[in-house]
Amino acid sequence: MKIGIIGGGSWGTTLAQALTDNNNEVLIRDINADFVKKINETHLHPFFDKPIPESIKATTDLDEIANYSDYLVLCVPTKFMRGVLKELYSATKGQKTLINVSKGIEPDTSYLVSQIVEQEMKEKVKDYVVLSGPSHAEELIDRKFTCLVSASKNSEAAKKVQLIFSNDKYIRVYTSDDVVGVETGGAIKNAIAVVSGIATGLGLGENARAALITRGIRETIKVVEILGGKTETAYGLSGIGDLIVTASSMNSRNFQAGLRIGKGEDYGHVLETSAQTVEGVRTIEAAHTIAKKYNTELPLIDLAYEVLFEGREIKEALSSLLNRDLKQEI
Ligand SMILES: NC(=O)c1ccc[n+]([C@@H]2O[C@H](COP(=O)([O-])OP(=O)(O)OC[C@H]3O[C@@H](n4cnc5c(N)ncnc54)[C@H](O)[C@@H]3O)[C@@H](O)[C@H]2O)c1
């Protein structure tokens, strides 16, 4: 079948290859004309410079992608999502099944992508599915084994996306009905990955990282529950699975951004000079806003917020974490 992908960066172009391997026809839309040219003319991944199937086509034209297929994959950074959906609403004829693969919370509003889609695409959404889980583009581009979860309120739509993306060689997709839980886990893990990177940059070791990841899952669960998702989803691929792969890997640009911040670089400079999207820093801001709104403490995220956005000294912040009241683990 035909599938359109909006956003042909690291992840979008990697998914294009997987979808092509599964015998689909794929068109990518990206606003970066150099990426589009590179995909069409050299058949190389725009970030990784690795060969991708020649049948993958790319365009800068929104109208072309809007009406290319009934299935559109959303793969732009969350901060651009609302703008993309507004344009898409005007350009699409008929209803679409939207498959969101981006992982973040909208910075100014603290909305999940499912909520932005509801607000901006309204009656033009046939079904909404989120596809998430532990997945570095750097590995999937080499067709390394990856498990994902496809979540939708419509179980048939979740199953359809499961079938579209699964194959018997390197991708296995599970289904879920917990859109909020899956989206929240995918977003919060980027925030925790930044925290984990900061700790590593400060010279803390693997003991500390394991503790941060474990406490990070507690914070993920809190946000999942506040937003109305299921606790058990946080223990699945989109929660703990994605946290493990992101919060301890040099392949994670969120971990790497944290590492640079922990070594003393200014976070604004880190964001400006990262070639790829770093969702985690903005997610720290959004999750902190959610915690305040619902009167909940997220010790790691709140502390990272104070360091990044309020100028709190990192080492002092860390020692305040250790000086919190001693308590039961769970
Ligand atoms: N890279 C990964 O391993 C990975 C894995 C899973 C999920 N994700 C998520 O996917 C999303 C995208 O990440 P990425 O790594 O591909 O980022 P990226 O920075 O590599 O690519 C983003 C792409 O979006 C394009 N873009 C920006 N605005 C656009 C618009 N209005 N229309 C079309 N294209 C537009 C940019 O030109 C760029 O090519 C993020 O939310 C990320 O968390 C990434």
CA-7 nearest atom, ligand 1: 34
Domain presence at residue 57: yes
State residue 277's pLDDT score. 81
- CA neighbor of 119 nearest in space, from 81, 77, 79, 76: 81
Sign of CA dihedral 188, 190, 196, 202: negative
Query: Ligand 1: residues whose CB is within 6 Å?
Result: 6-12, 29-32, 35, 47, 75-78, 80, 84, 101-104, 135-137, 276-277, 279
Q: How many angstroms separate the CA atoms of 254 and 6, rounded?
A: 22
The residue with greater pLDDT, 252 or 32, is 32
Structure token digits, residue 315: 């080492």
Contact 113, 74 (CB under 8 A): yes
276-309, pLDDT tens digit by residue?
788 899 999 999 999 999 999 999 999 999 999 9
Q: State in Å: Cα 322 to ligand 1 middle.
A: 36
Q: Which of 177, 205, 232 is the last residue of a domain?
A: 177
Compute the average pLDDT of residues 122-134.
97
State residue 317's pLDDT score. 87
Domain holding 294: CATH number?
Answer: 1.10.1040.10
Contact 147, 172 (CB under 8 A): yes
> Are 149 and 190 in a shared domain?
no
82-110, pLDDT tens digit by residue?
999 999 999 999 999 999 999 999 988 99
Count structural domains, the chain.
2
Question: In terms of pTM, does the model score above 0.75?
Answer: yes
Q: Is the pLDDT of residue 321 over 90?
A: no
> Are 48 and 137 in a shared domain?
yes
Contact 263, 201 (CB under 8 A): yes
Percent of the chain at pLDDT > 70 equals 100
